[in-house]
Amino acid sequence: MPAAPPLWDLFCRVIDNHGDLGVCWRLARELAARGQRARLWVDDAAALTWMAPDGLCGDVPGVQVRPWREPFDAAALAGLPVADVWIEAFGCELPKAFVAHGVQDSAARGSAAPVWVNLEYLSAEPYVERMHGLPSPVLQGPAAGRTKWFYFPGFTPRTGGLLREAELPARQAAFDRAAWLAAQGVPWRGERLLSLFCYEPPALAALLAQLQQGPRPTRLLVTAGRAAQAVRAAFEHQMGLQPAQVKRGQLSISYLPYLDQRGYDELLWACDVNFVRGEDSLVRALWAGQPLVWQPYPQHDDAHHAKLAAWLDWLQAPPGLRAFHRAWSGIGAEPLPPLDERAWIACASAARARLMRQRDLASQLIGFVAEKR
């Protein structure tokens, strides 16, 4: 009989319901699409009800979603096969009971221990190339003496790459913008389209004022959740407008429902400029190939400033785009410059082309694990 495909355990702690879980779900699904099997252990899978409803219902072959509760119920592992690969996503630590069970079971069967990978956050900073693929000895706990491996996603060939489905270019090429907008109930009449997925950017009110006073009609497609709350707050408290108003000057606003991952990709393809936040949406906006403005996750020690600067360097962003990003994230005191997507499109297209020539994250990760087994 042929050997069973490799089994992967991915552990994810949800931070804001979008980025961490979104990345882990995309990875689990892509592993399954490439002939692997994946169990996604997550402490809060609620966002999958709209992000990936097929996954929560168990309708994706090769992928299981399992609850991660603390204290971890080691008895729940009885009868479950030990995986070939353990993935700690974004610095979460595997439960000690889970590790102990895996170590004991592997020893009892005389089989190789799982390959243990620490999947790190995405960054363009120089340390990523230096740290990618390095070993990290486990010094204590039930797996003392074993090794974890650092795995860094990234934007260059010397990193672990970015998640990209094999069918993505074909899906994008077949996309019909007008039909998609009509299906979403967006009353598009040829005006410029901007998508907004953000935290609470300091320059949001300035952007809204710029768009409503600008020379071009613009429709802002606002994603559900924090972005919609931020826009309504800016209108009500900073601009003296009523939140319910959806037309002001040259600016029209459409508030969108929660979109699943496929729908969010299509939103990015439909728009002329995409405002994105965090990790998962940044990668999806890069694949869209349209001008984008990225808001990294704000950190209390301002570490996101260096993260943003390194990414803009990799992007080879022109001066106007750099200035816009600094103002958008509140770095420095300069005002928000004009939104000039026509000057930014060549930069976005070139970045996508560079990334398309590199191997995707799932392919590289499967190969990396195969070398360590």
Catalytic residues: 20, 279
d(CA 260, CA 276): 16
Do 350 and 285 form a contact (C-beta atoms < 8 A)?
Answer: no
d(CA 246, CA 319): 32
Residue type, 60: V
* CA dist 123 → 200, 207, 248, 269 (Å): 21, 26, 38, 24
191: closest CA among 257, 254, 239? Answer: 254
Element (H, E) at 126: none
Distance, C-alpha 209 to centroid of its chain: 29
Element (H, E) at 145: none
Pairing of strands 147-151, 135-137: antiparallel
Q: Which residues pair with 136 in a beta bridge?
A: 148
Do 125 and 322 form a contact (C-beta atoms < 8 A)?
Answer: no
